[in-house]
């Protein structure tokens, strides 16, 4: 008989209590061995997952190393050329992998780094084992692009090629906060307000070239009109009154809604309102009211045409034209045409509507004044007391010359054509009054 059999036979003869005790001791012993064994396995490193090296690790490394090509080492022209190549490559990529191409394109819109597109496409390419058609098409596109030398930097829009445009862009960006706020308060896309501003300022810059060379160009400021039409956007007093009436009259075809009824309320009554209206428009330090009146014209004209059954909210060329020709010529119809005042720039004639249209779709200043998905946003809440107080408090305490006069930079040399007005030391030069 084996030792195990003898031990088991002996154990069976024990009392029930002793058997239970033996079983408990045995279980504790097994548990102890298990714990000690697990500790030993852990200490010896048998539980560590050493992982595996991804088969594409070298490719991933090369993608990461692409970041070493910093944009700062490239000229502006080289950066632009790289961007254009990325879009060409994405166009080819979309023919074979449209989902990935769309995602990369969306990411590129939020990135200022052309290398990011390269890296994203390289990351996707890890899963392209063999696609000779894609490689062939990409090579053909690159070869075609390489066959055309890069032209010198230039703008296809002629009137944007002069020094006037560079100066005007800088002057406009100084008013960015005011223009955006005017758009928010009136529900009008700020880019539309800028389109009107550019049409008016380009006309003044080119009709007063000597004034521009002397004053506007060097200091890069907006021209403020003070005769017949007023402010940076050339709003006539009669037009301003009409805008105010439309805001208040619910029966008007131009009525923008209850939210805007008090938008242009006055702080004074009676005849004093005439002076306040003039001060609003010719204020050379704060152009908020010029932009508010401009936005109201755009919004009211859009509402008028909409109520007549014609949607021109997506026709900036028509909106700019109607801003220029005025309410009296705003006649809703199915086939409106772009036009307005003739503006001569560099010996070429443009219309006011075309100037605004060119700017709107040019992409210029898009970072400062982006495109809205909806160009007009209806207001669902009344303007707050704080907002109204902000608007009414936006007339600066600057000294204004008599109507119809020009004012030039302090200490400028007076000429027979220019009447100079001097200001206190705290009055900075911020523009010029230009007679029409």
User: Which residues are registered as beta bridge partners of 345?
Assistant: 348
Per-residue confidence (pLDDT) for residue 407, from 0 to 100: 39
- Looking at 175-287, list the stretches that DSSP marks H as alpha helix, in order from N- to C-terminal side: 176-186, 190-207, 209-211, 217-219, 237-248, 272-282
DSSP state at residue 285: S
What integer is the mean pLDDT of 380-402?
87
Q: Is residue 400 within 8 Å of residue 282, measured between CB atoms?
A: yes
Q: How far apart are CA 420 and CA 214, in angstroms?
A: 13
d(CA 320, CA 351): 10
Question: Where residue 270 falls among pLDDT bands split at 50, 70, 90?
Answer: confident
CB neighbourhood size of 268 (10 A)? 10
Position 414 pLDDT exceeds 60? no
74 pLDDT more than 90: no
How far apart are the C-alpha atoms of 434 and 429, rounded to whole Å?
14
Answer yes or no: is pLDDT of 412 > 50: no
**Residues 6 or more apart in contact with residue 43 via CB below 8 angstroms:** none
| Per-residue confidence (pLDDT) for residue 425, from 0 to 100 | 35
Query: Looking at residues 388-414, what average pLDDT do you find?
Result: 67
Q: What is the pTM for the complete model shown?
A: 0.73
Decide if 160 contacts 364 (C-beta within 8 A).
yes
In this prediction, residues 91-109 reach a mean pLDDT of 85
Dihedral, 309, 311, 317, 322 alpha carbons, nearest 10? 40
CA distance 325 to 322: 5
| Percent composition of the chain: helix, strand, coil (DSSP 3-state, to 5) | 55, 5, 40
Mean confidence (pLDDT) of the chain: 79
Q: How far is CA 418 from the centre of its chain?
A: 39
Separation of alpha carbons 429 and 81, rounded Å: 40
Q: Does 88 score more than 90 pLDDT?
A: no
Instruction: Band the pLDDT of 115: cuts 50, 70, 90.
Output: confident
Mean pLDDT of 22-51: 62
Predicted confidence at residue 147, as pLDDT, reads: 85
pLDDT band at residue 207 under the 50/70/90 scheme = low
Give residues with Cβ within 8 angstroms of 127, minimum separation 6: none
Is residue 46 over pLDDT 50? Answer: yes
Residue 398: burial class (beta carbons within 10 Å; 0-12, 13-18, 19+): middle
Exposed, middle or buried: residue 353 (CB in 10 Å: 0-12, 13-18, 19+)?
Answer: buried
């Amino acid at each position: 008989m084996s030792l195990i059999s003898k031990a088991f036979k002996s154990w069976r003869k024990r009392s029930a209590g002793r058997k239970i005790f033996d079983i408990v001791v045995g279980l504790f012993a097994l548990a102890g061995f298990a714990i000690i064994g697990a500790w030993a396995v852990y200490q010896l490193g048998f539980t560590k997952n050493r992982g595996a090296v991804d088969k594409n690790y070298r490719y991933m490394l090369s993608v990461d190393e692409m970041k070493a090509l910093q944009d700062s080492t490239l000229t502006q022209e080289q950066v632009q050329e790289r961007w254009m190549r990325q879009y060409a490559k994405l166009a080819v990529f979309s023919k074979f992998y449209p989902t990935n191409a769309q995602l990369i394109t969306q990411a590129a819109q939020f990135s200022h780094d052309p290398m990011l597109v390269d890296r994203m496409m390289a990351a996707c390419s890890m899963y392209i084992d063999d696609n000779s058609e894609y490689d062939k098409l990409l090579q053909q596109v690159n070869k075609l692009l390489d066959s055309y030398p890069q032209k010198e930097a230039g703008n296809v829009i002629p009137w944007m090629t002069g020094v006037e445009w560079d100066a005007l862009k800088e002057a406009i960006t100084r008013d960015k906060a005011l223009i955006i706020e005017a758009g928010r308060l009136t529900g009008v896309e700020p880019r539309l307000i800028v389109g009107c501003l550019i049409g008016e300022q380009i006309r003044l810059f080119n009709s007063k070239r000597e004034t521009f060379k002397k004053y506007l160009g060097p200091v890069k400021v907006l021209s403020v009109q003070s005769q017949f039409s007023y402010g940076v956007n050339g709003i006539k007093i009669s037009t301003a009154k009409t805008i105010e009436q439309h805001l208040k009259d619910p029966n008007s075809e131009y009525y923008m809604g209850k939210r805007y009824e008090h938008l242009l309320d006055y702080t004074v009554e009676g005849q004093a309102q005439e002076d306040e209206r003039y001060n609003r428009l010719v204020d050379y330090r704060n152009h908020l009211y010029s932009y508010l009146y401009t936005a109201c014209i755009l919004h009211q004209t859009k509402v008028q045409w909409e109520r007549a059954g014609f949607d021109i909210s997506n026709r900036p060329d028509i909106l700019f034209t109607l801003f220029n020709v005025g309410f009296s010529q705003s006649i809703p119809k199915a086939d409106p045409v772009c036009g307005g005042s003739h503006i001569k720039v560099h010996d070429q004639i443009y219309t006011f509507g075309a100037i605004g249209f060119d700017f709107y779709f040019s992409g210029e200043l898009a970072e400062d004044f982006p495109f809205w998905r909806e160009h007009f946003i209806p207001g669902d809440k009344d303007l707050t007391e704080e907002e109204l107080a902000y608007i009414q408090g936006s007339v600066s305490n600057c000294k204004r010359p008599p109507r119809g006069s020009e004012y030039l930079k302090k200490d400028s040399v007076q000429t027979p054509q220019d009447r100079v007005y001097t200001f206190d030391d705290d009055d900075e030069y911020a523009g010029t009054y230009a007679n029409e």
